[in-house]
Chains A and B, each alone.
Chain A
Amino acid sequence: MIRTLSAAALALGLLFAAPAARAAGEYDVPPPANLSFQGIFGTFDRPAAQRGLQVYRQVCANCHGLRLVAFRNLRALGLTEAQVAAIAAEYQIADGPNDEGQMFQRPGRASDRFPSPFPNERAARAANNGAYPPDLSVMTKARHYGANYIRALLTGYQDPPPGVEVAEGMHYNRYFPGRQIAMANVLFDDMMEFADGTRATAEQMASDVTTFLAWAAEPEMEQRRQMGVRVILFLLILGGLTYAVKRRVWADVKH
């Protein structure tokens, strides 16, 4: 009985660590996104992540940085070395000082990280009506409900229900805490074309960029899960053997 009780207490303790949601302002709980990488053994859908990269570069990057991700990391999404170099070269990176002591701009290299759209938070706020577009590098780890939240937020814009006053420069989004968000709706059907022929609906773009951002936040996820399967299988076998030895050792002792 004591064992059962303590096991239950432990399980409860773990459960209670779950976030106390909805602390700040009311919002709707985002529905499950059901994306490729969710679920215990999920992996990143490479074509989706590549389309998501395109969405990030054409839409999100106007306001949001991705400063922790290096261009070389994009190889993990299935891009070739030449493709990575070409993407990097499209960016201007501040470097220096050179031999004359001057800072200068040069085309990006694979070893560079994504440059942020604004030099600092003040500049970002000045350009965005006082709001600060956060860096997206670890975004799916930095919000309750993670990827589900990101995808729901991107498709959660709607007209405010009658009687709800939306503040100047704000937008109604039922998944954002408080339901009023400074960011405007940015994804519209067919606003871009994907090289692989997938139709760029707002839903599609939201799912794809969520996949990309989930990869950006946890690039180690696939390796982590693969290693986890091997480690736990090993431990299960080791546990079985250890228990057998324990039974054997204790066999002639009454206890």
Chain B
Amino acid sequence: MAIGLHDSPFKNPVIRWIDRRLPIFTMMQKEYGTFPTPRNFNYFWNFGALAMVNLAIMIATGIVLAMHYTPHVDHAFDSVERIMRDVNYGWLIRYMHMNGASMFFIVVYVHIWRGMYYGSYKEPRELLWILGVVIFILMMATAFMGYVLPWGQMSFWGATVITNLFSAIPFVGDSIVTWLWGGFSVDNPTLARFFSLHYLLPFVIVGVVFLHVAALHITGSNNPLGIEPKGPQDTLPFHPYYTIKDSVGLVVYAIVFAALVFFAPNFLGHPDNYIPANPLVTPAHIVPEWYFLAFYAILRAVPDKLGGVVLMFGAIAVLFVLPWLDRSPVRSMRFRPIAKWAFLLWTVNFVVLTYAGSQPAEGVWVTVARIATAYYFAYFLVILPLLARLERPLPLPESISSAVLRGGGPLPAGAAAKPMEKA
């Protein structure tokens, strides 16, 4: 591009003046106005936008909370209750932040699920997918450290259990744990650094989200059919079609969020976290927040500590290589009769893991967690690679528009030419 003022299409003199020097209006128009988007999105394609909104809510409420919160072992618990009682609408801000974390994981789990079902991770969107996994890992770290901040019993003991996982690393494990803690137990230095990092990481997430969206706007979106748009008849401008469709999803999301915040704010939490942290009293049953339970179940499914830690981190790491494990050229599970059921079973399996993680690690739940862990990995490492060779996919439609206009399925040759004249 030649050096010089940008050739702005805008007529408004103020907008034009800015746009010629810094074409942000042109960019917004291109990326969110006319951006060609497949015309056949279903409501699963709301969840990326919802996650973005949720991140904004978390940062906005979190900044206000940080103004009133005290990261000190003697004051943290009381400062949170101060927010609940004495800060104007502090209870609302704190409950939004607390339940916002759960909403964030619900939204992101659906978003990931959609990517897996419709094959959004496949070529050419591998890097887009990898950036998403990076965001997911950053979210988990942020949520974990945020849960420690109220300094209740589950905060303290959750932090102790999770940081102790690193002691499983051979030779240097104990040194690493001491380094993480800033001492010889979870204590004030741990709380202070968790607060610092909990404030930092969301902005790192914003940065990676920017890359995630930038990559998306290079490849364009996947869609429920998993075939690329072939021309303008297959796409619609993002605005107004998907701005309004995302708005519908946003309101539904807000209703669920409001129901939690206003009518069941502690439903997803654990009552023990309203008991101030006490290093001398171990809770009978230490559990992480619900969104970590599946991975917690995998951790506990292995009798060996190091093995459990490796499997737990492996359960997330395997997502990074998913694009290369699943070599089937067909993206959407709609056209993969066997993989579809293997994946739906994987989904149920994930829910089972979550439930197993909430139960004491004894009796039948150990067996259940082991079987479920085995299937979790088998899906990625055995089933998908095999199906890429063995499965016979259903015929793909010629194009998005042909499938949409005829109600799905492949068309006989030539029928797409005048689709409207029949019927």
Contacts and interface: CB of A to CB of B under 8 A. Distances in A.
A228 B351 contact: no
A177 interface: yes
B320 interface: no
Interface in B110-138: 110, 113, 117
Interface in A207-254: 217, 219-220, 224-225, 227-229, 231-232, 235-236, 238-239, 242-243, 245-246, 249-250, 253-254
Nearest to B236: A253
B81 A68 contact: yes
B110 A6 contact: yes
B151 to A, nearest CB: 13
Interface stretch (B168-176, B249-257, B389-397): B249-257
Q: Is the interface of B mostly helix, strand, loop or mixed?
A: helix
B73 interface: no
Nearest to A135: B276
Interface in B72-130: 78, 81, 84-85, 91-92, 95, 102, 106, 109-110, 113, 117
B7 to A, nearest CB: 30
Chain A: interface size category = 35 or more
B274 interface: yes
A235 B404 contact: no
Nearest to B419: A254
B241 A141 contact: no
Contacts of A236: 255
A12 interface: yes
Contacts of A5: 344, 347
A94 interface: no
B240 A249 contact: yes
B277 interface: no
Chain B: interface size category = 35 or more
B358 A40 contact: no
A254 B420 CA distance: 11
Contacts of B95: 224
B293 A254 contact: no
B190 interface: no
Interface in B33-58: 39-40, 42-44
A142 B271 contact: yes
B84 to A, nearest CB: 7
Interface stretch (A18-26, A158-166, A182-190): A18-26
Interface string A1-42: 011011001101110111110011100000000000000100
Most buried by B among A40, A242, A245, A253: A242
Given A5-B347, A6-B113, A231-B258, A243 B85 contact: no
Contact of B248 (A9, A141, A227, A243): A243
B255 A232 contact: yes
Nearest to B39: A255
A143 B284 CA distance: 13
Interface stretch (B10-18, B63-71, B196-204, B260-268): B260-268
B360 interface: yes
Given A13-B106, A134-B275, A224-B92, A249 B255 contact: no
B29 interface: no
Nearest to B240: A249
A154 interface: no
Nearest to A67: B78
B405 A254 contact: yes
21 contacts: A2-B117, A3-B43, A6-B110, A10-B110, A14-B268, A17-B267, A17-B268, A68-B78, A138-B81, A138-B274, A141-B266, A220-B85, A224-B95, A228-B262, A235-B251, A242-B248, A243-B248, A246-B247, A250-B245, A254-B405, A255-B39
Task: Identify the 10 closest CB pairs spanning chains A and B, nearest first.
Answer: A228-B262, A24-B284, A23-B285, A142-B274, A17-B290, A239-B251, A220-B91, A141-B274, A138-B274, A23-B284
Interface of B: 39-40, 42-44, 78, 81, 84-85, 91-92, 95, 102, 106, 109-110, 113, 117, 236, 240-241, 244-245, 247-248, 251-252, 254-255, 258-259, 261-263, 265-268, 270-272, 274-275, 283-285, 287, 290, 293, 344, 347-348, 351, 354-355, 358-360, 404-405
Given A5-B347, A9-B351, A224-B91, 19 more contacts: A3-B42, A5-B344, A13-B354, A20-B359, A24-B285, A68-B78, A220-B85, A224-B95, A228-B261, A229-B262, A235-B251, A235-B258, A242-B248, A243-B248, A245-B244, A249-B240, A253-B39, A254-B404, A255-B404
